[in-house]
Amino acid sequence: MSKGGGSVEGLNTRSPTIGELLGGLEELERERNLRFLRNLFKRFYEQEAVFEKVTSIKYREFGFLTLETRTMIRHLSFEDWRDLVKFLCEKVPADCYRSTAYYLNPSAPNMEGKGWLGADLVFDIDADHIQTSCKRRHDRWRCLDCGENGNGSAPENCPKCGSKRIDERAWFCSECLEAAKTETIKLLEFLYSDFGLTDQEISLYFSGHRGYHVHVESEEFKVLDQDARREIVDYITGLGIDPLVHGLGSLTSDEELAKALKFSTWAERLMKNGYDIVLNYGLEDLLRIGVKDKVASSIVENKEKIVELWWRGKFNQMVGVDSRTWEAIFLEAARKSGVLIDTVVTADVHRLIRLEGTLHSKTGLRKVKVLRDLESFDPLKEAVTFKKGEVKVHVYESPEFRVGESTFGPYSEVDIELPISAAVLLVCKGLAYVI
């Protein structure tokens, strides 16, 4: 193993400790939790971990968050897989990361000295970036200055005192994970249909928390710089998509439509989602996306006629519906068609990403490869690592949640014996301590 010093690029050098996540656990409770997690994580890495080997391991940089202080240690490299596993067993990190990039000297303490050789193209889809109704039920926030609090996603500033010191308690549930899965399915369709990638070049993983990672290992993509990767990001997210460029601006027949669909997969996406908008959007929805009042009313009233003309390429011949209206509808269609990825992750050619097969310290779940159909994949079953035994914990407060086939909670200031999988999740989330 080799190592160097330096700061983290793309990751915080220090994350909150379990005690800080709770707003300050008593020291004895904190130590008990740390000992509990350390023993479990150590046993996992010593006995149970079956890792998928990372391609070209000696050319990768590795980084680790320590369990006790959550300090990032990075600029490490390993000659082979056995050295890495030995390190994990000895150090028992909270979280493990590896570079998407390949380096000539991965342990160099700065990027200039590493000798960049290329990087895999990676995508991160996280439910935290997706607006779902369930957040109002299970997410909470509190101002650390005045105590104001509320449900749902945290505001940037406290609405009462204006402070930016907001403590956010974000949870995740089946609805969150389904939303992330939907975006991932959209992403895979782009990669296969638009970029011509194969199953051999794409690896799909549940991240261990709120979403999915997609890794692309391809010689064609490996050499792309940040600007080229940003172009890919813009294309997949639908940023700047112009329906005119894709042949939808002046259609007059089904022949012209067929030609547009043949040469552009984006044209097909815009048509499908545009059709859905016309069919399902009400007056308020159309006004929200910029359609004028009278025109919106006309669309709602003549919905059946527009739908009839849609796939004949004559939808834009409706009297009273101008080109600006269709532009607004297709812009909304582009928004619905685009994928909600973490754009920074994909564009970053020096990114560290969670190491395949390792544990996520915020859940105790594992980053696992999706080997079968994504539609039927259930992360709350297939990523569960600790399954044997029960643990008695004190739960401060938690929403209702599911692990495996069982549902637990909600809980508030209660001592309870739970299956170890549920107890680990609550402890990792900072919502409980081991008794």
How many whole angstroms separate alpha carbon 381 and alpha carbon 135?
22
- Cβ contacts of 266 within 8 Å, gap of 6 or more: 194, 241, 246, 334, 337
Q: Which residue out of 95, 120, 124, 139 is catalytically annotated?
A: 124
Q: Any idea which residue has 């909470």 for tokens?
A: 140
DSSP per-residue letters across 120-176:
-EEEEEEGGGS--TTHHHH-EEEETTT--EEESSPPSS-TTT--S-EEEE----HHH
How many whole angstroms separate alpha carbon 317 and alpha carbon 349?
47
Q: What is the CA radius of gyration of the chain?
A: 25
167 noted as active-site residue: no
Q: Any idea which residue has 């993983």 for tokens?
A: 205
395 forms beta bridges with 414, 432
139 noted as active-site residue: no
How many whole angstroms separate alpha carbon 248 and alpha carbon 288?
22
Q: Which residue out of 95, 120, 139, 342 is catalytically annotated?
A: 342
Contacts 24+ apart (CB under 8 A), 405-411: 405/381
83 noted as active-site residue: no
How many whole angstroms separate alpha carbon 204 and alpha carbon 209?
14
36 forms beta bridges with none
- Cβ contacts of 6 within 8 Å, gap of 6 or more: 74, 75, 109, 110
Give the CA angle between residues 337, 342, 345 to the nearest 5°: 135
SS3 category, 220: helix
C-alpha 130: how far from chain center: 9
C-alpha 416: how far from chain center: 32
How many whole angstroms separate alpha carbon 28 and alpha carbon 374?
42
Q: Which residue out of 95, 126, 139, 348 is catalytically annotated?
A: 126
C-alpha 195: how far from chain center: 21
Helices (H), 281-357: 283-288, 293-301, 303-310, 323-337, 343-347
Contact 366/349 with Cβ under 8 angstroms? no
Name the residues annotated as catalytic.
124, 126, 342
